[in-house]
């Protein structure tokens, strides 16, 4: 064993560490190491396990982990001693490891004595990311043992495992830190472990560092020792039982701000020293939201108290971070744009984003950390809940942010994905790391949240809240499945109580309700797609029919799906009553009594249910007339829902486009931001579509129509940050569109603002809500583009930089777009974490969509290396670039490329989503382009007939 020990000691020496003796609770090295012995002959050994999931006969109880990262040579060494409970007799310990150099493996008995005098062989199965350690002396079932491993690795240059990150100071100095991101399957990249969510254990973590750095982990530091060579060793308190993907540690030189909640939770927010001032809003929000969650769940923040009866939790802004944030227990990590807030450069939307992300990650401390899904097929139990709790918590704690205005958008995005053939059930099979990564998608997050929203309305707020409290208490520090949630909500309501609109809670009905709730919710979580409910008036009754809604297949097509049935909690409102009527639809066809005197019916009140509605017969005409005559008879959510449903039905060929366009003809009278922006969003989408397709007559007529029709509301906008959050959101989006459409007053004002800003050497503070619009106009000139790129390299605000990058990517000069993509690939000026967003920005530019797609094809292997197959970034790149295609030729080109990377594409569900999206775009053009052209021509003639020369007069 001499060569192994020599290598380890050499590495320790290189890293500036002198090994010191440790107490038995530390994992620095096994007690009483044996004399060097020759290794066992491994020639006759083969890897003992063939499955992706680990065997269940060994359970880890406690990890003692010691790490020493060297931020100069960008590598680290470590040791781990894992206390094991052996269930069955075996000679093998199988666990996860990926990219680690394991130099020593030893098995110890309960008294820490070695089971073998020989070096134990470590067999590797890279395909399954597993290692197996062979013990010549069998481990006995029912006994405890210790597995001791010495290992080392380079600090990763991506975004997973234990990886390096850098930031630049205002003086140009580059500083390095080391951070972790383990979800879903990357703890195994940092240390050997049993890397599955149901295999929970306690962790005792120690980290060696220089005095200039700070070490952070899930728990607070319990003891710090100064070593002989001047290094510090921080020993953290023992963690609660948790899954490996929630372990985290950071070594950095950050500064922090702190505050304490009413219940004694000390919250600290960390950031790079020169961004310290941008942490104050996050601290205030985190304290407020933590206090809300403790009250709502009626469960204290689920980490143990430490010194002075205080619970510690940290939020850290990491300069290089792929996702938005990560809920590591007690050490939540964020992308800087998701945590830092600068009042002078951050818009109202930026503030809402930061608040929502903090709310999401803090909700995870209960949903995900305290109670973890048993396996990744039910990741929606984590992500759907956290997404929905954003809305519940922020609506209560920050009502002025109007977070409810965004809930419908969340569901609309889910429906967009769910109305494609390539969608999947909320709960889906996922085994390989790539499949697991793909589970973190729109279905888990958005659809999961919207189904929970529907369930909450079905059960009532009180029953829903008490049910999830039961769920959290019953499965604390453990794992759960879908069925466990339904069990916790079992005391809900029988159909007759739901129909009557009363509160529904009946112990006598518990067994029946349990069965009904399970049956009902299985139709939403185990079945693909979103239902379409068609309603038609027949005398005094409303006749109902349900079917799966698809935008890529028409009911007359042979491929139309027929075997779909949901239990739909229908709600509806009529003109004869202010009450919300309820009906549980459990069959393909049904009917309800509404009365002969009813004039109009609006189904799915405030879109509390996750389904679309189609009004047969005169139903749509009735609603069009209602919106025209008295749109406030419906809530703003109902108006928004009607607009969304109409345009979705036009995409599917179920409603004519001119009817949908007539429906939004009332928008000139609309005073609420949400329906106004919803209608405007469809017109903008059509404009960008025909602009990209280079259809000049439709492009010009649509641009002219939008600017004419919305002239009044455009002219009312001020170039400031004044007003409510809703008013500021409208201003930001409306002025951005107006300038993009070439509106002269908009362009002139934006250019003036840009010139003044540049003349001030960028010291002038632009209104944050219009900054991106101003930059985009300024970026169209060579000098403006060059100035923005220079300022981008110097800015210390990632939010500000994102606005600049978006503006740079709006240039009509393809050479500039190509240069941006090159800078993104280099990863110096434009960070690699922003590369996927940059590619999508370029793809959305009419001059850049083919350029972006060519770039993806050329550098596909590089992109996969940077982001990992199945990651959000890879999915974002694929959907963002191919989603701009509208022709059969482009569909063929994409198909050919996916065939050329078949080995990788076959592992990805997102490739089929991309193909479906293009097919949907092609069908839209075939079904609706002619109608859009005719409708615009008609509008032009009508305006001319009213005496105007054109729509702008």
C-beta neighbour count of 901 within 10 angstroms: 15
What percent of the chain is modeled with pLDDT above 70? 91
Domain shared by 467 and 533, yes or no: no
Annotate 455-487 with DSSP letters as a single string: HHHHH-HHHHHHHHHHHHHHTTTEEE-HHHHHH
Asked, for residue 7, whether it belongs to a domain, the answer is: no
Domain shared by 139 and 280, yes or no: no
Domain shared by 126 and 239, yes or no: yes
Which of 649, 682, 701 terminates a domain? The answer is: 649
Average of per-residue pLDDT values in the chain: 91
Asked, for residue 190, whether it belongs to a domain, the answer is: yes
Q: Given 3-state DSSP classes, what are the helix, strand and coil percentages for the chain, each rounded to the nearest 5?
A: 45, 20, 35
Confidence tier at 501 by pLDDT (50, 70, 90): very low
Binding residues: 360, 364, 383
Domain shared by 463 and 348, yes or no: yes
Domain shared by 214 and 290, yes or no: no
**Residues, the chain:** 953
The Cα 616–Cα 534 span in angstroms is 7
Q: What is the mean pLDDT of residues 339-349?
A: 93
Q: What is the mean pLDDT of residues 259-287?
A: 97
Query: Which residue among 83, 129, 361, 438 is the active-site one?
Result: 361
Q: What is the mean pLDDT of residues 681-687?
A: 97
How high is the pLDDT of residue 563? Answer: 83
How high is the pLDDT of residue 40? Answer: 56
- Select the more confidently predicted residue: 133 or 44: 133
Answer whether residue 553 shows pLDDT above 90: no
Asked, for residue 702, whether it belongs to a domain, the answer is: no
Asked, for residue 42, whether it belongs to a domain, the answer is: no
How high is the pLDDT of residue 577? Answer: 87
Binding residues for Zn(2+): 360, 364, 383
- Select the more confidently predicted residue: 946 or 490: 490
Domain span at 444: 272-308+318-488
Domain shared by 82 and 201, yes or no: yes
How high is the pLDDT of residue 596? Answer: 87
Question: What does the pLDDT look like over 3-31, one tens digit per residue?
Answer: 233 233 233 323 333 233 333 334 445 54
Question: What does the pLDDT look like over 620-649, one tens digit per residue?
Answer: 999 999 999 999 999 999 999 999 999 999
Answer whether residue 352 shows pLDDT above 50: yes
Give SS3 for 123.
Answer: strand
The Cα 82–Cα 62 span in angstroms is 6
Domain shared by 566 and 467, yes or no: no
Which of 649, 667, 682 terminates a domain? The answer is: 649
How high is the pLDDT of residue 306? Answer: 78
Asked, for residue 37, whether it belongs to a domain, the answer is: no
Answer whether residue 944 shows pLDDT above 90: no
The Cα 183–Cα 321 span in angstroms is 13
Q: How many domains does the chain have?
A: 4
CATH number of the domain residue 125 falls in: 2.60.40.1730
The Cα 872–Cα 655 span in angstroms is 34
Q: Which long-range contacts link 396-400 to residues 24+ away (Cβ below 8 Å)? A: 396/292, 397/285, 397/288, 397/289, 397/292, 397/359, 398/285, 398/288, 398/355, 400/724, 400/725
CATH number of the domain residue 455 falls in: 1.10.390.10
C-beta neighbour count of 631 within 10 angstroms: 20
Domain shared by 568 and 616, yes or no: yes
Which of 620, 649, 678 terminates a domain? The answer is: 649
Known catalytic membership, residue 361 = yes
Asked, for residue 937, whether it belongs to a domain, the answer is: no
Confidence tier at 711 by pLDDT (50, 70, 90): very high
Strands ordered across the beta sheet of 589-593: 589-593, 541-548, 531-538, 612-615
Domain shared by 479 and 414, yes or no: yes
Question: What does the pLDDT look like over 88-111, one tens digit per residue?
Answer: 999 999 999 999 999 999 999 999
Asked, for residue 244, whether it belongs to a domain, the answer is: yes
Annotate 375-386 with DSSP letters as a single string: SGGGTHHHHHHH
Left if phi > 0, otherwise alpha if psi is -120 to 50, otherwise beta: which for 841?
A: alpha
Confidence tier at 559 by pLDDT (50, 70, 90): low
Domain shared by 409 and 556, yes or no: no
Asked, for residue 660, whether it belongs to a domain, the answer is: no
Domain shared by 246 and 279, yes or no: no
Domain shared by 189 and 287, yes or no: no
């Amino acid at each position: 064993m001499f060569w192994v020990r020599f290598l380890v000691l050499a590495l320790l020496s290189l890293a500036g560490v002198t090994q010191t003796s440790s107490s038995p609770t530390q994992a620095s090295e096994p007690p009483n190491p044996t004399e060097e012995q020759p290794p066992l002959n491994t020639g006759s050994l083969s890897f003992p396990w063939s499955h992706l999931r680990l065997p269940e006969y060994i359970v880890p109880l406690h990890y003692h982990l010691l790490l020493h990262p060297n931020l100069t040579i960008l590598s680290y060494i470590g040791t781990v001693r894992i206390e094991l409970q052996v269930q069955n007799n075996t000679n093998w310990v199988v666990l996860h490891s990926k990219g680690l150099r394991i130099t020593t493996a030893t098995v110890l008995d309960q008294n820490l004595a070695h089971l073998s005098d020989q070096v134990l062989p470590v067999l590797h199965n890279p395909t399954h990311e597993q290692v197996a350690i062979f013990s010549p002396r069998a481990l006995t079932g029912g006994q405890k043992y210790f597995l001791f491993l010495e290992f080392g690795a380079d600090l990763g240059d991506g975004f997973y495992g234990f990886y390096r990150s850098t930031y630049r100071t205002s003086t140009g100095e580059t500083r390095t830190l080391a951070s972790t991101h383990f979800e879903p399957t990357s703890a195994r990249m940092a240390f050997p472990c049993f890397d599955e969510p149901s295999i929970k254990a306690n962790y005792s973590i120690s980290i060696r560092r220089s005095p200039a750095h700070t070490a952070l982990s899930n728990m607070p530091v319990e003891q710090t020792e100064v070593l002989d060579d001047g290094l510090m060793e921080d020993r953290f308190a023992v963690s609660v039982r948790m899954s490996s993907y929630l372990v985290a540690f950071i070594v950095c030189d950050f500064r922090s701000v702190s505050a304490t909640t009413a219940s004694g939770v000390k919250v600290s927010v960390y950031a790079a020293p020169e961004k310290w001032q941008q942490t104050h809003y996050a601290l205030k929000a985190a304290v407020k939201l933590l206090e809300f969650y403790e009250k709502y769940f009626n469960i204290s923040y689920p980490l143990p108290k430490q010194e002075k009866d205080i619970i510690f939790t940290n939020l850290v802004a990491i300069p290089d971070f792929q996702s938005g944030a990560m809920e590591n227990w007690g050490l939540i990590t964020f992308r800087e744009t998701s945590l830092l807030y600068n009042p002078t450069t951050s818009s109202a939307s930026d503030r809402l984003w930061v608040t929502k992300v903090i709310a999401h990650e803090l909700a995870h401390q209960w949903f995900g950390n305290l109670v973890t899904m048993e396996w990744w097929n039910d990741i929606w139990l984590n992500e759907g809940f956290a997404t929905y709790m954003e809305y519940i918590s922020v609506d209560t704690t920050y009502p002025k942010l109007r977070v409810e205005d965004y809930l419908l958008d969340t569901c609309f995005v889910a429906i967009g994905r769910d109305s494609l053939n390539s969608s999947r059930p909320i709960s889906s099979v996922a085994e390989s790391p790539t499949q697991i990564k793909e589970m973190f998608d729109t279905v888990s997050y958005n659809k999961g949240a919207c189904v929970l929203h529907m369930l909450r309305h079905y059960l009532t707020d009180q029953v829903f809240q008490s049910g999830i409290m039961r769920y959290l208490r019953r499965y604390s520090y453990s794992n759960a499945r879908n069925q466990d949630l339904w069990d916790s909500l079992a005391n809900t309501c029988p159909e007759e109580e739901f129909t009557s609109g009363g509160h529904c809670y009946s112990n006598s009905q518990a067994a029946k309700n349990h069965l009904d709730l399970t049956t009902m919710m299985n139709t939403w979580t185990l079945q693909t797609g979103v239902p379409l409910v068609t309603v038609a008036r027949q005398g005094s009754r409303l006749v109902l029919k349900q079917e799966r809604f698809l935008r890529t297949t028409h009911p007359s097509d042979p491929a139309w799906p027929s075997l779909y049935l949901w239990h739909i909690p229908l709600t509806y409102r009529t003109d004869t009553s202010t009450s919300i009527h309820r009906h549980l639809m459990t069959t393909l066809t049904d009917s309800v009594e509404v009365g002969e005197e009813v004039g109009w019916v609006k189904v799915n009140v405030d879109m509390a249910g996750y389904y679309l509605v189609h009004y047969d017969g005169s139903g749509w005409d009735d609603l069009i007339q209602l919106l025209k005559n008295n749109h406030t008879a419906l809530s703003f959510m109902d108006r928004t829902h009607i607009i969304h449903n109409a345009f979705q039905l036009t995409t599917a060929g179920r409603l004519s486009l001119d009817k949908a366009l007539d429906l939004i003809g009332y928008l000139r009278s609309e005073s609420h931001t949400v329906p106004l922006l919803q209608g405007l969003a469809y017109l903008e989408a059509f404009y960008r579509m025909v602009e990209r397709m280079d259809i000049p007559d439709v492009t010009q007529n649509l641009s002219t129509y939008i600017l004419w029709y919305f002239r009044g509301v455009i002219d009312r906008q001020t170039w400031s940050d004044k007003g409510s959050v809703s008013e500021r959101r409208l201003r930001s989006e409306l002025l951005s569109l107006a300038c993009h459409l070439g509106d002269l007053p908009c362009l002139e004002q934006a250019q003036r603002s840009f010139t003044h800003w540049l003349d001030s050497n960028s010291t002038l503070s632009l209104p944050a809500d219009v900054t991106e619009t101003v930059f985009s106009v300024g970026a169209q000139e060579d000098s403006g583009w060059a100035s923005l790129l220079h300022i981008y390299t110097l800015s210390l605000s990632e939010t500000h930089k994102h606005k600049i990058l978006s503006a740079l990517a709006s240039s009509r000069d393809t050479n500039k777009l190509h240069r941006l993509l090159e800078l993104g690939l280099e990863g110096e000026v434009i960070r690699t974490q922003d590369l996927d967003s940059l590619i999508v920005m370029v793809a959305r530019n009419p001059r850049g969509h083919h350029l972006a797609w060519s770039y993806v094809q050329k550098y596909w292997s590089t992109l996969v290396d940077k982001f990992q197959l199945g990651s959000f970034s890879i999915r974002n790149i694929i959907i963002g670039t191919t989603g701009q295609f509208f022709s059969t030729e482009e569909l063929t080109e994409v198909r050919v490329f996916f065939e050329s990377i078949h080995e990788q594409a076959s592992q990805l569900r997102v490739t089929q989503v991309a193909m479906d999206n293009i097919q949907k775009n092609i069908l839209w053009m075939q079904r609706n382009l002619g109608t859009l052209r005719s409708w615009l021509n008609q509008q032009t003639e009508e305006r001319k007939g009213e005496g105007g020369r054109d729509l702008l007069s």
